[in-house]
Structure 1
Amino acid sequence: MANKFFFHKGGAEVVMLQERDYLLHSGVEVIDFSMQDERNLESPYESHFVSRKDYEGRSLSKLGLALSLIHSREAVSKLAALIDKMHPDLMHCHNVYHQITPSIISVAKSRGIPVVLTLHDFKPVCPVYLRLRAERPCSLCLDGDFRQVLMNRCAGGSIGASALLYAEAAIQRWLGSYEKVDRFLAPSRFMRESALHRFRSDQVALLYNGVGTAEIEVSTRDEGYVLYLGRLSREKGVETLLRAHEAAGTWDLVVAGTGPLARGLQMRYRNARFVGQSSGQALKATIGGASAIVVPSEWYENCPMSVLEAMAYGKPVVASRIGGIPELVVDGETGLLFEPGDAGELRTHVSRLMGDASLRARMGAAGRIRAERQFSIEKHNANLLQTYRSLVNA
């Protein structure tokens, strides 16, 4: 199981570690492959992990550093040694881009090992992985013309960074790295349809993320505040929510998370309560006390764990009608959907919920039932293991 982070950094790591725990408890031997980091969980294979690389904020003008983002000789060497030592039946890749690189796919395939890759983001069909151009949703690269990332300077307006990401995408396509994957796992129909622009239909399977409903108790607490939980960045739409809150003036808003916009948002929107990054029992208490959860994303979300966890806690969800979100939230039944970026519609929906406690309770209860029936971690894991077995048997 390969993922560049071996700690709870984001949604990809939550899914990966959930699957790892399930496999270990099912008697399956799991061989970890990741990047060294002081935040890592313990692993008997950590001596095989690649050295830590942090590209964020670094200049990639040096050729060697830039090339390591495309092809990691260290990852290839260390994974080859680990495979030759352990002889695994299958390799499952999660978020391996840049620090580990897709070069490891060829290592496994050269040894006759089937490869699974979960599409946590759009990287195989979008060099900048978010499908955003000038901070707006974009589909230009889906037809395979990766020059668009260069022409539009999609990497933060930088011609150098955009050129590097274009080169990475073009080289991986020339090497056929992703084409060697036996099975892509798409956590939403929207993601699967995006991937089918490049890959065969039988190569991409739908597998929604799962949430541990058995471990999450329904919360009947309703302390009168709306909760945003996530990264404070442009594509997450948090500023649209803050504008809606300012205009309404009748309900409380708690913002939990950090990100590049944190300082500016706190300065401009003083009526909201910013609580920073939260985890463990503090996070559970914050979710448990919320009246509703808002997911105001303005990019093509895949299968956000924030929505699944809100449903598991029995909380109604107000969310953008974009990407894979409408596959999770049943409009008018488990929550309310609004057009991305429409602060007025968002304000109307939240105000409606906050003015009707019985509606909140009904939608929250319906969301919990939907989470148990459609998105349980047990259902996810059973389908995952079935995928593994089909590939190994073949």
Structure 2
Amino acid sequence: MKVLMANKFFFHKGGAEVVMFQEREYLLHAGEQVIDFSMQDERNSESPYESYFVSNKDYRKDSKLSKLNLALSFVHSREAVNKIAALIDKARPDLMHCHNVYHQITPSIISVAKSRSIPVVLTLHDFKPVCPVYLRLRAGQPCSLCLDGDFRHVLINRCAGSSIADSALLYAEATIQRWLGSYEKVDRFLAPSQFMRDAALHRFRSDQVVLLYNGVDTAEIDASAQDDGYVLYLGRLSREKGVETLLRAHQAAGSWDLVVAGTGPLQRDLQMRYRNARFVGQLSGQALKATIGGASAIVVPSEWYENCPMSVLEGMAYGKPVVASRIGGIPELVVDGETGVLFEPGDADELQGHISRLMDDPSLRARMGTSGRIRAERQFSIEKHNADLTDTYRSLMNASGG
């Protein structure tokens, strides 16, 4: 089996890349061939197909003139179309699996694959097909206005950072992609949560969208009995992640230690205003494993519609109780009162109460951590994820005569 795997980043940038590289490694170890398609970047992992990668584009850093010149490629990339056509014609894949492809690569590559009778799978790491700004946030608050297909809301409410120009570009992108039917050509969407699947069903057929939770490699992660008495936040330091709600809860409590691991636009401001927390920056490798292993609990205080956050699955795999917001797909992962505790997004007082109760009761932490590990092994193992993924691939290839 030859799988063409497309994602705009070919390095570990976020959760989408974690999932993509997990699937890629599984396929290679299973003796299958993986054909990479991505964007050029000095941080990329090595790939025998890197000569086909599109040129690097960073729409946030380019000048206004460059943005004007790149506006059309933001919606439809002629470069991506030409390069993936050449790659497909040379490598002859049986199937194309897209992860995050919008903006730098664009969904225009879907039509190229379909014109060659190649089935297309797309993992819904975020809400882009039903929300032009992909986060489903309006003025910093969760929003569902565009789910009915009226993308004018992004323009009316200036959802792209309050910028009329950026919002207009996202509106044009969403409208043109719908007119072209790019996403409608996808054979199978993989939704990593039922919450995401329900959102996608506003636009796509029920048989087109299947539930496939992210997986965590419990064979590679040992449950940790270590408990060094600190609460751990892992993630981006941005408003929608709710990290400031956690910092306010910590400041009000004053009775437990907080470690914040990650970087982001709020980093400097939060470090200046919340000096009692320990900010350790972006962690990876052994440092990350040791920090998770020593934590008393993992906190995921998100204030946007999370999908299937890897931080929750990894916390469970390490045998840690997870304290998380009751929002998006998170309640599908955390069993309230059994593997962790759920709280209302943005409620620092409720969050502070839950964490303080956990930190005062080591036996409760241990019981919840053990239950979380068992749940990760039974429901969210990487083996289960990969088996279901392969079944999806095979069914589409059989239907197409591949």
Give the TM-score normalised by structure 2.
Answer: 0.97
1:108 and 2:120 are equivalent in the alignment: no
**Structure 2 counterparts to residues 122-141 of structure 1, below 5 A:** 122-141=127-146
- The answer for the alignment partner of 2:89 in structure 1 is 84
1:21 and 2:25 are equivalent in the alignment: yes
| Maintained 8 Å contact 1:228/1:256 | yes
What secondary structure, in the 3-state scheme, does the structure 1 residue paired with 2:166 have?
helix
Q: How big is each residue's C-alpha offset from its partner over 1:28-66, in whole Å with a ceiling of 9 and x where there is no partner?
A: 111000011111111111111111111124345554311
Question: 2:44 aligned to 32, 40, 43, which one?
Answer: 40
Unmatched segments (≥5 aa) in structure 2: none
1:93 and 2:98 are equivalent in the alignment: yes
Question: 2:58 aligned to 54, 60, 85, which one?
Answer: 54
- The answer for the alignment partner of 2:323 in structure 1 is 318
Question: 1:64 aligned to 69, 80, 87, which one?
Answer: 69
1:265 and 2:270 are equivalent in the alignment: yes
- The answer for the alignment partner of 1:352 in structure 2 is 357
User: Counterpart amino acid of 1:33?
Assistant: F
Q: How big is each residue's C-alpha offset from its partner over 1:100-149, in whole Å with a ceiling of 9 and x where there is no partner?
A: 00000000000000000000000000000000000000000000000000
How far apart, CA to CA, are the structure 2 residues paired with 1:301 and 1:100? Answer: 24
- The answer for the alignment partner of 1:9 in structure 2 is 13
| Maintained 8 Å contact 1:118/1:186 | yes
Deviation for aligned residue 1:155: 0.1
RMSD in angstroms over aligned alpha carbons?
A: 0.7
1:224 and 2:242 are equivalent in the alignment: no
What secondary structure, in the 3-state scheme, does the structure 2 residue paired with 1:235 have?
helix
- The answer for the alignment partner of 2:252 in structure 1 is 247
1:363 and 2:368 are equivalent in the alignment: yes
How far apart, CA to CA, are the structure 2 residues paired with 1:369 and 1:240? Answer: 29
- The answer for the alignment partner of 2:191 in structure 1 is 186
How far apart, CA to CA, are the structure 1 residues paired with 2:253 and 2:232? Answer: 15
- The answer for the alignment partner of 1:159 in structure 2 is 164
Identity percentage over the alignment? Answer: 85
Unmatched segments (≥5 aa) in structure 1: none
- The answer for the alignment partner of 1:280 in structure 2 is 285
What secondary structure, in the 3-state scheme, does the structure 1 residue paired with 2:255 have?
coil
How far apart, CA to CA, are the structure 2 residues paired with 1:187 and 1:15? Answer: 10
Q: How big is each residue's C-alpha offset from its partner over 1:43-94, in whole Å with a ceiling of 9 and x where there is no partner?
A: 1111111111111243455543111111111100000001011111000000
Q: How big is each residue's C-alpha offset from its partner over 1:6-48, in whole Å with a ceiling of 9 and x where there is no partner?
A: 1111000000000000001111111000011111111111111
Relative to structure 1, is the Cα distance of residues 60 and 206 closer, same or farther in structure 2, using a 3 angstrom cutoff?
farther
What secondary structure, in the 3-state scheme, does the structure 2 residue paired with 1:30 have?
strand
User: Counterpart amino acid of 2:295?
Assistant: A
User: Counterpart amino acid of 2:392?
Assistant: T
How far apart, CA to CA, are the structure 1 residues paired with 2:224 and 2:38? Answer: 36
Q: How big is each residue's C-alpha offset from its partner over 1:282-329, in whole Å with a ceiling of 9 and x where there is no partner?
A: 000000000000000000000000000000000000000000000000
| Maintained 8 Å contact 1:60/1:66 | no
How far apart, CA to CA, are the structure 1 residues paired with 2:17 and 2:264? Answer: 18
| Maintained 8 Å contact 1:314/1:368 | yes
- The answer for the alignment partner of 1:172 in structure 2 is 177
How far apart, CA to CA, are the structure 2 residues paired with 1:169 and 1:92? Answer: 21
What secondary structure, in the 3-state scheme, does the structure 1 residue paired with 2:117 have?
coil
- Give the count of matched residue pairs: 394
| Maintained 8 Å contact 1:121/1:129 | yes
| Maintained 8 Å contact 1:91/1:115 | yes
What secondary structure, in the 3-state scheme, does the structure 1 residue paired with 2:334 have?
coil
- The answer for the alignment partner of 2:123 in structure 1 is 118
What secondary structure, in the 3-state scheme, does the structure 1 residue paired with 2:155 have?
helix
| Maintained 8 Å contact 1:209/1:303 | yes
Q: How big is each residue's C-alpha offset from its partner over 1:146-198, in whole Å with a ceiling of 9 and x where there is no partner?
A: 00000000000000000000000000000000000000000000000000000
What secondary structure, in the 3-state scheme, does the structure 1 residue paired with 2:335 have?
coil
- The answer for the alignment partner of 1:203 in structure 2 is 208
